[in-house]
Structure 1
Amino acid sequence: MTTTVEVESEIVPPFSFVAPNGLHALPIAPSPEERAGLSREFVRELYSSGNEAIWEPSAPFYAALAEYMADNGFAYSAMGLFAREEGGVAQCALTVAVAKTDQTDTEIAAQGILAALSGNPYNDARWLDLPCGPAVSCVRVNELTVQPEVTRADGPVELLTGQIQVHVPFSTGPYTVVFTLDTAAMDYWAEFCNMMSAILQTISFESPSEDLSSVSIPA
């Protein structure tokens, strides 16, 4: 099962994409009342095997996180939880943000993004031709040192994390939408790359006419 997410705003032109099953969207909403209600629904979906003892203290945390996301220009944020064949869960985080640009020509905007990202030797920046127009992907792999106070291990633990970021200039205005996927489940990296690729194929800058899951960007 997939969900088509339509993002609406009084300022930014509308766009949409399809979110695959396994992504649990954070309750980003314009009012505290809406965030509180959506947060209660979110924790029940995320911790479907839990109970009120888990749901009640978790809901305010995710409501506050959603408020932070909304205040900082995020249009969509989700946690991805995927069952491993050998047991356990592979986790990722997906965020979608919109930035204003000075350029309305998508080709020129994408070329500028590619030039800027290519200047960092740690970035694997590449040009993409998507159904919705040109885009630029940027992949980074980072090694983090996690202290034993967090892991309860005998010493510091080296943690490898990966990030896929894709910048897609709007074809309908001077904006760029940025999709970012982060994960520490590097053994699941190929699957996350395929998932991101599938999402990118569904991006549309036209207003869908169907009854879709709608997200509003605060003005």
Structure 2
Amino acid sequence: MTTPTRTVPPAPSDDGSDIPPLWFTVPDGLFALPMAPTPEERGALAHAFVRELYSRGDESLWTPAAPYYAAVAEYMADEGVSYSAVGLFSTVGNGVAQCALTVAAVRTDQTDPDIAAHGTLAVLSTDPLNDARWLDLPCGPAVSCVTLREFTLRPEVTSTGEEAKLLTGQIQVHVPFPTGPYTAILTLYTASTEYWGEFCDMIAAILQTVSFAEPED
């Protein structure tokens, strides 16, 4: 995993949303999708995004890829996602560990973060497949939920032509806003579970930087 970081400001919006702002810091290696309020801005950001993501490519790859990622960003924005990134990290032997990180805000009935967090923990704990836990973050209370799933891949989609198993992991953290009736949901998803420990460390470091007030630095 790389160590340089950058702070992510609140996503722009033109829909009159009253969602309070949220800041957090992510490591280099996370490539943010072109989230923007207008098609023109998404298009421009998409062209920059594909050049950064596929830095060894050329126009034959970038030109068709940019509209695809612009459309993905539009879809995710419509679903309430304010930040989405693809994570690509070098591993030993010139391999690559991949993940996806999204951040969204959902309206809740509570403006008290403690009450909202206790309610979230109670709901998530009803599923025996969830590992739901209480967290005390610098920004306030939160609830984490870890789930692991194993999927069977059909022979026609594997490199060996034989049926294979794919283990995936998801870490989802619910952080109630102290500034309004919303809960931020940070979700990290990966099929590179051989690096599960590193991804757990990464999301833990990101959570330590979550802030509902603009950072001074």
So what's the TM-score if we normalise by structure 1? 0.93
> How many residues were matched structurally?
210
Are residues 1:14 and 2:15 paired? no
In structure 1, the gaps of 5 or more residues are: 211-219
SS in 1 for 2:203: helix
Are residues 1:46 and 2:53 paired? yes
Which among 64, 68, 74 is matched to residue 75 of structure 2?
68
Which among 154, 157, 161 is matched to residue 164 of structure 2?
157
SS in 2 for 1:7: coil
Amino acid at match of 2:117: A
Amino acid at match of 2:10: V
Distance (Å, rounded) in 1 between the aligned partners of 2:77 and 2:5: 23
Which among 86, 97, 100 is matched to residue 104 of structure 2?
97
Amino acid at match of 2:64: P
Aligned partner of 2:7 in structure 1 is 4
Q: 1:67 to 1:140 in 2, by over 3 A?
A: same
Amino acid at match of 1:189: W
User: 1:4-62: per-residue Cα shift (whole Å, max 9, x none)?
Assistant: 11115541111100011110000011111001100000000001111111111110110
Which range moves more in the overlay, 174-183 or 152-161? 152-161
Aligned partner of 1:148 in structure 2 is 155
Contact 1:6 1:208 in 2 (8 A): no
Cα shift at 1:152? 4.2
Aligned partner of 2:202 in structure 1 is 195
Distance (Å, rounded) in 2 between the aligned partners of 1:171 and 1:189: 31
Aligned partner of 1:213 in structure 2 is none
Aligned partner of 2:184 in structure 1 is 177
Distance (Å, rounded) in 1 between the aligned partners of 2:160 and 2:194: 21
Distance (Å, rounded) in 1 between the aligned partners of 2:184 and 2:209: 13
Cα shift at 1:209? 5.6
Larger RCO (CA under 8 A, 6+ residues apart):
1
Distance (Å, rounded) in 2 between the aligned partners of 1:148 and 1:108: 48
SS in 2 for 1:108: helix
Distance (Å, rounded) in 1 between the aligned partners of 2:214 and 2:161: 54
Aligned partner of 1:23 in structure 2 is 30
Cα shift at 1:97? 0.6
Cα shift at 1:156? 1.9
Aligned partner of 1:123 in structure 2 is 130
Cα shift at 1:85? 1.4
Distance (Å, rounded) in 2 between the aligned partners of 1:197 and 1:74: 20
Which among 28, 39, 45 is matched to residue 32 of structure 1?
39
Distance (Å, rounded) in 1 between the aligned partners of 2:157 and 2:32: 27
Cα shift at 1:199? 0.2
SS in 1 for 2:36: coil
Cα shift at 1:207? 2.7
Residue identity over aligned pairs, in percent, reads: 62
